[in-house]
Amino acid sequence: MNPPERVLIAEDDNVMRLILEKHLSNWGYAAVTVKDGEEALREMEGEEPPRLMLLDWEMPRVDGVEVCRRLRARDNSDPPYIIMVTAKDNAGDMVTCLDAGASDCIRKPFDRDELLARMRVGERTLQLQAQLNEARRKMTQLAMYDALTGIYNRRAAGERLEQELARFRRGGSPLHVGLADLDHFKAVNDQHGHQTGDAVITAFVQGVRSVMRSSDVIGRWGGEEFLIIAPDSATHPNPLFDRILEHTRTLEAPAGEAGVAVRFTVSIGTACAESGETMDDFLLRTDKALYRAKDEGRDRICHAEPGPVKTQTTKPPMPKN
């Protein structure tokens, strides 16, 4: 059973505050009471502030209109639903109240049933707001993260690399990048099926995460290719890639219903960012190092040479897989 909805009552009149508190208790709400606007603002700064508010307009220290303005000025994707309770009764006052950020207004003395109806409207509005926020979260998840592994997809990984390169150019610590490609991955799919291929990819990602620092980043760059970003490391070559190579040799993934274990390895090309280098040049050097690792027998690391990549026309690169 869900806990009762918490409602903040900000009212300086003791009798009115008790009346509101009693109504809310009878309707199944949990009332949180304060006596002025400053107390209301402090309550709304807590970790889990109430989402519904009954706010008196005329209060000492900070009035209800100013409380509304300050709450609406905050960067909040889940703002509270504010019902202003006031003795003011002309249209101009209602406009002032709503312009300040109140969600609704009700005049004193109020009808009990009308107040309940307005609070139910507030609850429905908050439910729709929560559903919208959840839809946005899912859209962000789809836009940024790989569905199979939960790590950054290519777009998000590229954006993160741009950010780290910008920090490096401003005088940050050395920045290392690796492109890791699972060896003979096509053969795994052909022999054991795509479900096993997915299991191999998932096992590899989990393995990489187990040896990464919290500041390191992994993103899925292609089908079985991964971009690994290692900022703030003074060691060159970065030992992270050795850990990934060695740990991958110990990994295995189940193949089919028989539960046969599939072992796999990875080839990695790495590079250290250089001053004045574009992201495309940085990745091109890393990619060339990866092709070298594949060409030299796989299950190894090759480090990119510093400086511009030389054009090679005598021999096309072999497929990475």
The catalytic residues are: 224
Residues in Cβ contact with 180 at an 8 Å cutoff, skipping those fewer than 6 apart = 208, 225, 226, 228, 241, 244, 266, 267, 268, 290
Angle, alpha carbons 143-149-150 (nearest 5°) = 45
**Cα separation, 155 vs 146, whole angstroms:** 10
DSSP state, 107? E
**Cα separation, 216 vs 164, whole angstroms:** 11
Residue 237: is the preceding peptide bond cis (ω within 30°)? yes
First to last CA, the chain: 53
**Cα separation, 301 vs 291, whole angstroms:** 10
> Which tokens go with 39?
């107390």
Contact at 8 Å (CB) between 85 and 23?
A: no
Q: How many CB atoms lie within 10 A of CB 298?
A: 16
**Cα separation, 316 vs 321, whole angstroms:** 15
